[in-house]
Amino acid sequence: MSSNPRSLVALTLLLVVGAGCFGLVDDGGPARPAVDGDAAVESYESIDGVHAVVETTITHGNTTEHRASEVWLRPATGAVREEIREPASREGNVVVANGSQLWVYNESRAVVRTQSYERGQGDAVRMDTFLRQVFDAVAASDDETVASPPTVGMGPAPSVPVDGETGAEVRNATTRVENYTATYEGRETVAGRETHVVALAPTGDVPTVASDLRIRYYLDAERYFPVKVAQSMTVNGEEFRIVTEYSDVEFDADVPDSRFRFDPPEEASVVDLDESQETFETRAAAAANVSMTIPDPDVPAGYELYRVGLLRGEITTVTVFYRNDAGNVLYVSKHSEPRSTGSAEGVTVDVDGTEGRYVATDSLGSVVWACAGDRQYAVVSVDGSLSRSTLVAVARSTGCR
C-alpha cells in the first residue's frame, strides 16, 4: 500500500487484478489463461467487496520486520480501509479511502490527516490499465511493458538500503525504475488457492539498487485478486525481500458503506492537507503567513528562488525552492519538529558545529540536521547533481536560523 501522501502514506497494498477462465497455449512456455484485458477487468471489478488479513514480511540480511493489518476493499471503486495490528508502534492506526476522500489516523499522536482521494493517489497506476496491458499481451502470447507496479491502498512503503558509500536509504526502489516488462509465468498454488503468476522485471537502464528487482503477483485464478505479492532484489550483496500475503480472504463480502468513512475521535487534531498547503512567490509573502523564520541560504551560482511552500499540520514545514536554467531543483526545508527522513543510514557531516547526515540515492542528494528547540532542516538536490560538499556548504549557510 505504496507510496507518495505518498509521503503521508505508509504499507502499500499492491492490489492487482485479473479475470477469466483457463486455456492452454502450447508454445513451449507456461500455459496461459485464455482471457484478454477487458475480461480481466470485468471479473475483478465484479467483486462486491473483500475482507482479509494482510501480512507483510520484510527481510534483509539477518533483519526481519513483520507488519499486519485487517483490510476491507471495494476493487471497482478503490475504496479501502486498513486497520493496523502490527508493529506495536503503529497498532491502532487507520487508513481509509472512499474514492473521494482519504483519511490517515495516527493514534499515538492523536492526529488525522485528510485530503482528496485523487491527490492521495498521486501518480499510482490504475488497476484496469495494468490488467488490460498485461492480459492483452498474454492473450497475444507476448510480453508487455508497463510504466510502474500497480498500487492500491495507502500507507508507508518499506525502505530499501542503497549500495554505495553513503549507506543511504530510498523509500521504495520501484519508484527508481521507469519501465517494466510484464511476463506470465504460469500457475501456482498459494494458501490452497490456484493462482496465475505475473512477474515484473526492470527494462532498460536502471539504478544499481534495482538492477535485479523482480516483483511477482500471484492472482487468484477465479477473481484475480492478489493473494500474494513478492518483491526481491540484491542489496549490498544480500537479498532484500518483501512478501505481502492475504489470508482469510472473503470475496463478495458484505462490506457496509460505513467501513469507508472515518469519524475522527474527539481528542484528535484534524489536518486538512488540501487546505493547509500554500505557495508563495516571495520569501517575504511566506514570512507574513507563518511564525517561523524563512530559510535564507547561500545557494550555488545560477540558482534562483522560484517559490516558497508552506505546510501546516502537527508539524509546520516551510520549504524554499530554487531552480537553475537547466531545470535542476534545490530546496531547503525547515520543520517545527523532527520528522522521519530516512536519513539514519547516511554519512555524518558537520553543519556549522551541529551533526548532520548526508544521504544520496539515484535521484537526489540531501543533508539533514536538527537544532535546539526541535527544529529540523534539510537541504535537498532533487536530481542529485550537486556534490556533497556543495550541499554541506548550503546547509552551513542556513545554520539554525
Non-local (6+) Cβ contacts of 17 within 8 A are: 40, 41, 43, 44, 45, 75, 127, 131, 219, 223, 224, 225, 226
CA–CA distance, 150 with 2 (Å, rounded to integer): 9
Please measure the distance between the N-terminal and C-terminal CA atoms of the chain and give it in whole angstroms. 37
Residue 181 shares a structural domain with residue 292:
no
Tens-binned pLDDT, residue by residue, of the chain (401 aa) = 333 333 322 222 222 222 222 222 334 556 666 677 788 888 888 889 999 999 999 887 788 889 999 999 888 888 889 999 998 888 999 999 887 788 888 888 788 888 776 655 554 556 677 777 777 777 766 666 766 676 544 433 444 544 333 334 444 566 666 678 888 888 899 988 888 888 888 887 776 666 788 889 898 888 888 889 898 887 667 788 889 999 999 999 899 999 999 988 888 877 776 655 778 889 899 888 888 889 999 999 999 998 898 887 667 889 999 988 888 889 998 988 776 544 445 688 999 888 888 887 655 788 999 887 678 888 888 766 788 899 999 999 998 87
Residue 208 shares a structural domain with residue 343:
no
Are 300 and 142 contacting, i.e. CB atoms less than 8 angstroms apart? no
361: nearest Cα among 373, 375, 345, 374 = 345
Report yes or no on 274 lying in a domain.
no
Are 64 and 77 contacting, i.e. CB atoms less than 8 angstroms apart? no
Residue 221 shares a structural domain with residue 316:
no
Report yes or no on 5 lying in a domain.
no
Residue 304 shares a structural domain with residue 370:
yes
311: nearest Cα among 320, 299, 303 = 320
Residue 178 shares a structural domain with residue 313:
no
Residue 68 shares a structural domain with residue 132:
yes
Report yes or no on 199 lying in a domain.
yes
Are 184 and 30 contacting, i.e. CB atoms less than 8 angstroms apart? yes
Report residue 357 as a C-alpha cell: 547526515
Are 373 and 334 contacting, i.e. CB atoms less than 8 angstroms apart? no
pLDDT at 156: 38
Compute, in degrees rounded to 10, the torsion defined by CA atoms 108, 375, 380, 332.
130
CA–CA distance, 284 with 366 (Å, rounded to integer): 25
Report yes or no on 6 lying in a domain.
no
- The most distant pair of C-alpha atoms in the chain lies apart, rounded to whole Å, by 70
Say how far residue 295 (Cα) sits from the centre of its chain: 28
Last residue of a domain, one of 257, 290, 312: 257
pLDDT at 181: 82
Helix pair angle (37-45, 127-139), 10° resolution: 140
pLDDT at 11: 25
Report yes or no on 353 lying in a domain.
yes
Last residue of a domain, one of 222, 257, 292: 257
**CATH number of the domain residue 249 falls in:** 2.50.20.10
Residue 205 shares a structural domain with residue 97:
yes
Residue 125 shares a structural domain with residue 56:
yes
Residue 214 shares a structural domain with residue 290:
no
CA–CA distance, 155 with 86 (Å, rounded to integer): 13
Q: Domain count for the chain, please give it.
A: 2
Q: Tally the C-alpha atoms within 13 A of residue 319's C-alpha that lie toward its C-beta.
A: 18
Distances (CA, A) of 231 to 3, 45, 81, 173, 177: 15, 25, 23, 10, 14
Report yes or no on 263 lying in a domain.
no
Last residue of a domain, one of 225, 257, 289: 257
Q: Which residue range is the domain that position 83 belongs to?
A: 37-257
Report yes or no on 29 lying in a domain.
no
Residue 235 shares a structural domain with residue 325:
no
pLDDT at 208: 67
CA–CA distance, 346 with 357 (Å, rounded to integer): 5
**CATH number of the domain residue 376 falls in:** 3.30.200
Residue 317 shares a structural domain with residue 362:
yes
The 10 Å Cβ neighbour count of residue 225 is 25
187: nearest Cα among 28, 30, 41 = 30
Residue 242 shares a structural domain with residue 347:
no
Report yes or no on 31 lying in a domain.
no
pLDDT at 302: 92
CA–CA distance, 54 with 72 (Å, rounded to integer): 10
